Amino acid sequence: MTEVVVTGLGATTPLGGDVASTWEALVAGKSGVGALEAEWAQELPVRIAAQLAVEPSEVLPRVRLRRLDRSEQIALIAAQQAWDDAGLSDDLDRERLGVVFGSGIGGALTLLEQDDILEEKGPRRVSPFTVPMLMPNGPAAVVGLEYRAQAGVHAPTSACATSAEAISWAADMIRIGRADVAIAGGAEAVIGGLPMAGFASMKAMSTRNDDPERASRPWDRGRDGFVMGEGAGALVLERREHAEARGATIYAVVAGSGLTSDGFDIVQPDPECNGGGRAMRAAIEQAGIDPKSVGHVNAHATSTPVGDMAEVKGVKREIGEHVVLTGTKSMTGHLLGGAGAVESIATILAIHDGVIPPTINLDDPDPELVLDVAANEARKMDLDAAMNTGFGFGGHNAAVLFTKP
């Protein structure tokens, strides 16, 4: 069967403007969460978030910024890094280049901003770039256009499972022979009044406003919801023979992936993690490896009361009690549609560097936490295989399994 490998990584996150700085902060256990100082946030029940460490305006030219929603800006930044990291040459056959890049919510900030203009100044003042900025396939389209991808540009949308799902589809695209190279990932930038108020009304978010850095605390007894983050991650996936023929550096193999759905509830996770567990099993079966060789799971672990514990059940049942978990959302916050890509990068680097980043703020573990977690300090560990999971509102489940090259 066609083997799919990872040859390029890119990211811009609350911990750093690129992969190296993000990874360094993750391993060091730094929090990217802070107080929202803006005026619009002051009346909200939640006034904390994990904002980008490096503003897109420091990276992209001004006119480019004007025509892209913030989610598209960071998708482009992450993809540019991944592309450069992969070292692909200009003569790459673009009819063999695909893009699978998602966003959970799309250009919500553009929608709101342009709606204000419509109300205050009238329809003629609405930007002619409004539609390409707010459409949920915008990040995929912008990345595809940047690299003239012609094998297909796709935009999966499955809430917080989006970019883990994108990696899975991109790997499939290469496996079934529709592309030799695919840029996969996700981006999200919706730290604004309405999205924040909506999640807060669901009681899904932490209200630990007085202690932002300690608000995201997966598996801790004191957890009270997720912390909104913004960021993007991108991976260059490539057919192994294609990568080897050009002498590319291979970070990891995308050994398998699984996509399932709960059929359970629009927002509540299945407390037994049946659908999530089936996704994990599917990934392991596709890889054709013994579950015992999966040493680490970068868990979805959003710091919500039900979801964190359900996943522990799923991992224990499908992979086993030997596995070491971590929840990097304790540091990055929840990047929604960007989460799976950034966390897959962390999973790949855990294999590559032999170190699992910590789950910070895990001071008082939930008694149902029956698996080992790299709590509060990074854990050195030689890993042959590691998994990233992502679960989204709507009951979408994704698991991606990476192995050593």
Binding segment toward other proteins, per CB under 8 A, in 58-66, 154-162, 219-227, 380-388: 58-66
Catalytic annotation present for 334: yes
User: Does 118 help bind other proteins (rule: CB under 8 A)?
Assistant: no
Catalytic annotation present for 300: yes
At 197 the three-state DSSP class reads helix
Six token digits for residue 130: 């409004």
User: Does 116 help bind other proteins (rule: CB under 8 A)?
Assistant: no
Instruction: Report in angstroms how near the CB of residue 128 gets to other proteins at its nearest.
Output: 4
**Residue in 160, 273, 296, 396 annotated catalytic:** 160
Of the candidate residues 129, 198, 274, 366, the single one contacting other proteins (CB under 8 A)? 129
For 144, residues 6+ apart whose C-beta sits below 8 A from its C-beta are: 99, 101, 153
Concatenated DSSP letters of 208-238:
-TT-GGGT--TTBTT---B-BB-EEEEEEEE
CB of 29 within 8 A of CB of 331?
yes
Amino acid at 127: S
Cα four-point dihedral sign 277, 278, 281, 282: negative
Distance CA 216, CA 80 (A): 30
Using CB under 8 A, count the residues that bind other proteins. 9
Cβ nearer to other proteins, comparing 127 with 293:
127
User: Does 292 help bind other proteins (rule: CB under 8 A)?
Assistant: no
Cβ nearer to other proteins, comparing 62 with 380:
62
**Residue in 154, 296, 300, 396 annotated catalytic:** 300
Binding segment toward other proteins, per CB under 8 A, in 61-69, 108-116, 167-175, 299-307: 61-69
**Residue in 242, 334, 352, 396 annotated catalytic:** 334
Of the candidate residues 1, 39, 63, 367, the single one contacting other proteins (CB under 8 A)? 63
Distance CA 146, CA 131 (A): 18
- 167: closest CA among 372, 374, 341? 341
Distance CA 97, CA 184 (A): 11
Six token digits for residue 48: 């904390």
User: Does 178 help bind other proteins (rule: CB under 8 A)?
Assistant: no
Binding segment toward other proteins, per CB under 8 A, in 32-40, 119-127, 195-203, 313-321: 119-127
346: enclosing H helix or E strand: helix 339-353
At 25 the three-state DSSP class reads helix
Cβ nearer to other proteins, comparing 72 with 230:
72
Catalytic annotation present for 352: no
Cβ nearer to other proteins, comparing 125 with 292:
125
Cβ nearer to other proteins, comparing 28 with 117:
117
Site of interaction with other proteins (CB under 8 A): 61-63, 66, 124-125, 127-129
Q: Which residues are catalytic?
A: 160, 300, 334
